[in-house]
Chains A and B, each alone.
Chain A
Amino acid sequence: MRAILTLAHLVILEMVRRKDIYVLFVLTALLTLIAAAANIFDDTRVVRYLKEISLTLIWVSGFVLAVTSAARQIPAERESRTLFTLLAKPVSRWQFIAGKFLGCWLACGLALLVFYAFFGAVALSRERSLDLAGWAQAISMHWFMLAVPVALALAGSLLWAAPSSNSTLTLVVCFGIWLLGRHLHKVALGLPEPRATLLTLVYFIIPHLELFDIRDLIVHRWPPVPWLFWLGALLYAAAYTGMILTGAWLLFRRRPLN
């Protein structure tokens, strides 16, 4: 476990020193502030509009950060050949994958906290109060959801060596699932066989990232989702992440490094 935590620490340190997070944060903050300044609706609608824009930006930034940071981890280690010095130490390839995953996922969590804290401050300035339970659910579900893109990008980096192509593919898959995933089985109903069965299969196989999207709770100040549903969603993300990481390890386990 110590090796995994050390690797995760190195990933976070690298991300902090590369300053990627700051660029994304500044961009998101800037757009949120611009949206907050555009006082084009009446008060209630402005707040709702502001929240929707900001949360969508946070979701998009979250995906971009998770995927781009995870996609470059293994290729960068190979390119700079730091992988060799590292794996010459008592570190198994499973620990290596797990450490990289944990580092990226924790860094995403830290970034989300900063994003949501900023967004919360802006929202609070307009609304005077926040529903903390709903916010806690939204943040934690968002964070757990990001474990899936991180794992996907890590696994993808073992299939596509170029981080740019891996990032693009993973982002397309993630955005596709997030925006269209819930409609796939309905689309399947209108298709001829065997496409209908294939699409239904895809619907049941893909990790449904849209399940974690409870932005409306914050936007409309709805009551929190049942805590059992919340727990189920976290376990669902953990199960998919575990499966994808196991796949990544199987790909990496016997791969020659030279």
Chain B
Amino acid sequence: MTEVIQIEQLVVTYRDTETRATRTVVDRLTFTVRPGEVFGFLGPNGAGKTSTMNVLLGFTHAASGSASIFGVDVRQPIARQRIGYLPEMTYYYKFLTAEELLRAYGRIFGLDDGEIRRRTDELLALVELEAARRRLIRTYSKGMQQRLGLAQALLNQPDLLILDEPTSGLDPLGRMKVREIILRQKAAGKTVFFSSHELGEVESVCDRVAILHRGELKALGPVGEIKHPADGNLEQAFLRLIGWPGAPKPASDAGPADHQPTAP
């Protein structure tokens, strides 16, 4: 079976505009995301999560290595046909209404007008924006914009949902909605790939996680396997794996081998 995401020996570099020096932000990253799983992509700020996502979405090109989605090289626009993407912040055309935005995106996905109308009705009801569908997005609150983001991410009934910090800045109700949608996707056999700092949430919904630190993969596997018996929860395991000095020491010997990622 084709892996949903396949990343091999991925290296991402940036050139510093002031010093002109090249900085490696993702270093020989290798992992796969399997069909139907909810995959958490974790790491502290600057770990390389966003850079990896940028490569997957075709925003930046890898210095070396490869990345594919459903077996298609991510540099091909068609690789994004089966993706739904929710960015961390809400970035939508403020001069449009929710309905117009979904219509425009639907056309880009090649959906016919009847299908767009049907899905728009369904999604706006799902994210509870029915009443505001004809209002300009610039009049929406942050929470409403984030819910619209969810609607646009689900518009093409994606087989892979990529969420970048989906619950950042959301109130508890919004968070619940996001969780509900992730689990709904999972129940429908879809794949969800998301980055988050909300480790409690990750623990509750993810089948597997990858932990990145300074561009390197520190751990990969099911939450239960990554957690040491002494860790207690994923947050403590996370702190231990990124080498935070205040992290609780596991009872057993935590040699360097413990920090190695499990097989993809």
**A, B from the same assembly:** yes
Cα separation A13 to B92 with both chains bound (whole Å): 14
Interface contact B91-A85, CB-CB below 8 Å: yes
Q: How many pairs, one residue from A and one from B, have CB atoms within 8 Å of each other in the complex?
A: 83
**Set of chain B residues within 8 Å of A81, measured between Cβ atoms:** 87, 89, 91
Chain B residues whose CB sits within 8 angstroms of the CB of A256 once the complex forms: 14, 54, 59-61
Q: Are A2 and B87 in contact (CB under 8 A)?
A: no
Q: Is the CB of B80 within 8 A of A6?
A: no
Which of B31-39, B105-113, B187-195 lies on the face that meets chain A? Answer: B105-113
Residues of B whose CB lies within 8 Å of any CB of A are: 14, 50-51, 54, 57-61, 77-78, 80-81, 83, 85, 87, 89, 91-96, 100, 104-105, 107-110, 149, 152, 162
CB distance from B150 to the nearest CB of A (A): 12
- Looking at chain A's contact residues, is the secondary structure mostly helix, strand, loop, or mixed? helix
Question: What is the bound-complex CA distance between A134 and B80, given in angstroms?
Answer: 48
Contact of B93 among A2, A82, A254 (CB under 8 A): A82
Q: How far is the CA of A95 from the CA of B83 in the complex (A)?
A: 18
Among residues of A, the one whose C-beta sits closest to the C-beta of B91 is A81
Seen from chain A, the residues whose Cβ lies within 8 Å of a Cβ on chain B are 2-3, 5-6, 9-10, 13-14, 17-18, 80-92, 95, 254, 256-258
Going nearest first, the 3 A-B pairs with the smallest beta carbon separation are A88-B85, A81-B91, A256-B60
Q: Which residues of A contact B57 (CB under 8 A)?
A: 84, 87-88
Task: Give chain B residues whose Cβ lies under 8 Å from the Cβ of A18.
Answer: 95
> In the complex, what residues of B have CB within 8 A of residue A88's CB?
57-59, 80, 83, 85, 87, 162
A80, B91: Cβ atoms under 8 Å? yes
- Cα-based distance from A89 to B78 in the complex (angstroms): 9
CB-defined contacts of B61 to chain A, threshold 8 Å: 254, 256
Give complex CA distance A86, B85 in Å: 10
